[in-house]
Amino acid sequence: MEKAVCIDLDGVLASYDKSTPWDGLDIGKPIDGAKEFLDELSKKYKVIIHTARVTDEKTGELHLGRYKKLVWWLNKHGLKFSRIEKKPIAVAYIDDHAILCEPQIKGDKAFKKATKTTNKYCKEYEEGKNRKI
């Protein structure tokens, strides 16, 4: 079975200014190192963009216009991905496999740490130490 990693868009791959009104269509510039981060992960994993950006706030369903815009944006910037998944709109996401990645705040070292931790989780799974994946 091919292993997958889910990666958020805003604040991880795309710059995101939380102080400006959000309409879902204006995607920030790629964060420095995002392309290299996805290039590295895509060598070993299926990369899934898991973002609330493509979720309609009123219905919770897929917002097709935002989805198409995101596909265009990812391709325009050469960012590798296998698919896009909508995630529910929430204040926080709590998960025992979450890997904090804040390159917009911490720079490129955030990508390096996230890659290292992802590889560690995967190795533990392969060794039978982590059965949750």
CATH of the domain at 45: 3.40.50.1000
Query: In total, how many domains does the chain have?
Result: 1
Residue 59 lies in a domain: yes
Which residues form the domain of 112?
4-126
Q: What is the pLDDT of residues 78-128, one digit of tens each?
A: 999 999 999 998 888 888 778 999 999 999 999 999 999 999 988 888 887
Residue 69 lies in a domain: yes
Question: What pLDDT is recorded for position 1?
Answer: 66
Question: pLDDT class for 21, splitting at 50, 70, 90?
Answer: low
Q: What is the DSSP letter of 79?
A: -
Question: What pLDDT is recorded for position 43?
Answer: 94
User: Exposure of 43 by Cβ count < 10 A (0-12 exposed, 13-18 middle, 19+ buried)?
Assistant: exposed
Which two structure tokens, joined as six digits, stand for 2?
């091919």
Question: What pLDDT is recorded for position 48?
Answer: 97
Mean pLDDT for the chain overall: 89
Report the share of the chain in percent with pLDDT over 70.
Answer: 93
DSSP 8-62: -SBTTTB---TTS---SS---PBPTTHHHHHHHHHTTSEEEEEEGGGB-TTT-SB
Residue 133 lies in a domain: no
Residue 131 lies in a domain: no
Which two structure tokens, joined as six digits, stand for 52?
């609330």
121: region left, alpha or beta (phi > 0 left; psi from -120 to 50 alpha): alpha
Residue 132 lies in a domain: no
